[in-house]
A and B are shown apart, each in its own frame.
Chain A
Amino acid sequence: MKATIIVTLKPTVLDPQGITIQRSAQSMGLAEVTVIRQGKYFDVHLAESTPPERGKELVQKLAKDVLTNPVIEEFRIVWEQKQ
């Protein structure tokens, strides 16, 4: 099983890095870029033998307890679709 975890700042939290990147985009002439929010991306691979329920549970736990600071961040999990 493979999952991608995307961590972003909560919408209510100011993102000075995103703002600075957005300003750079403006100054290089990309006037249509009005908002950029920066975040983090994690690829997580689980052992093939992991039961799906257990996998979901532990990826949720990993995202919640390790990858995210709940005071300022939130996350979403995207599971890789089997071919």
Chain B
Amino acid sequence: MKFGVVIFPGSNCDHDCYYAIHSVLGKPAEFIWHQETSVNGFDAVILPGGFAYGDYLRTGALAKFSPVMQAVKTFADKGGLVIGICNGFQILTEAGMLPGALMRNSNLKYVCKHLQIRTETTDTPFTNRLGKGQVLNIPIGHGEGNYFADEDTLKELEDNQQVAFRYLENPNGSIHDIAGIVNKGRNVLGMMPHPDRSSEQLLGSTDGKLIFESMVNALAGSRG
């Protein structure tokens, strides 16, 4: 089982993600440079937080054209596990791998703090170690985490139980208090809060680790 952490120019949580997988979970992890055209050999791909391509044009907008994203898309289409955290979530929506868009926070402020999110579904490879309704203590750090989708898309998300996490107290104006969603195939998760920054007690919470452990669990299960 091998995790890949993509590095875009401007990623700044790549080492946090690598550390969480490699040092906290003790699972193999490698970095993947954004110019790579293949993610063969990896069982899960992490798109880390940061400001890929300087967030020029729109957050995540230019990252979707990088060679590695074509490979990540193909990987996901075949059922590979992909988690996008913060800027990674923004990239996944821009790339069309998750529905909706992330807009400027409604209060226009960059919000950086620990908050609580509620687990809305355990039926995903990212939440199988969690209980339904389980509240996680997890940090956010973003200026553009205001999730938006049109009514039809929202209905589909809710009907298919694709909302993975909701904020208990909405920090950014996200519609339906959405903090994270999965795609229809449930193998792609995007979330604004940072499990990578909450995988070790030293950082104030180990709740985020449960998300990575769920992935490990799912990957172990899929290999029988």
Contacts and interface: CB of A to CB of B under 8 A. Distances in A.
A73 B99 CA distance: 14
Given A16-B104, A16-B108, 12 more contacts: A13-B148, A17-B104, A66-B61, A67-B57, A69-B61, A69-B101, A71-B99, A71-B100, A71-B149, A71-B150, A72-B101, A72-B103
A16 B106 contact: yes
Interface of B: 57-58, 61, 65, 93-94, 99-101, 103-108, 148-150, 173
B101 A71 contact: yes
Nearest to B151: A12
A14 interface: yes
A66 B106 CA distance: 24
A14 B106 contact: yes
A14 B108 CA distance: 12
B60 to A, nearest CB: 9
B contact patch SS: loop
A71 B148 contact: yes
B173 to A, nearest CB: 8
Nearest to B146: A16
Interface in A48-79: 66-67, 69, 71-72
A26 interface: no
A14 B94 CA distance: 19
Interface residues of A, number: 10
A67 B110 CA distance: 24
B148 A72 contact: yes
A20 B101 CA distance: 21
A71 B157 CA distance: 15
A35 B67 CA distance: 41
Contacts of A14: 106, 173
Most chain A CB atoms below 10 A, which of B93, B94, B106, B148: B148
B96 to A, nearest CB: 10
Nearest to B101: A71
Most chain A CB atoms below 10 A, which of B65, B99, B103, B173: B103
Q: Please provide the 6 A-B residue pairs with the shortest distance between their CB atoms, ordered closest to farther.
A: A71-B101, A72-B101, A16-B106, A16-B108, A69-B101, A69-B58
B172 to A, nearest CB: 10
Given A67-B57, A69-B101, A71-B101, A17 B108 contact: yes
Contacts of A67: 57
Contacts of A13: 103, 148
A69 B91 CA distance: 12
Contacts of B105: 16
B146 to A, nearest CB: 8
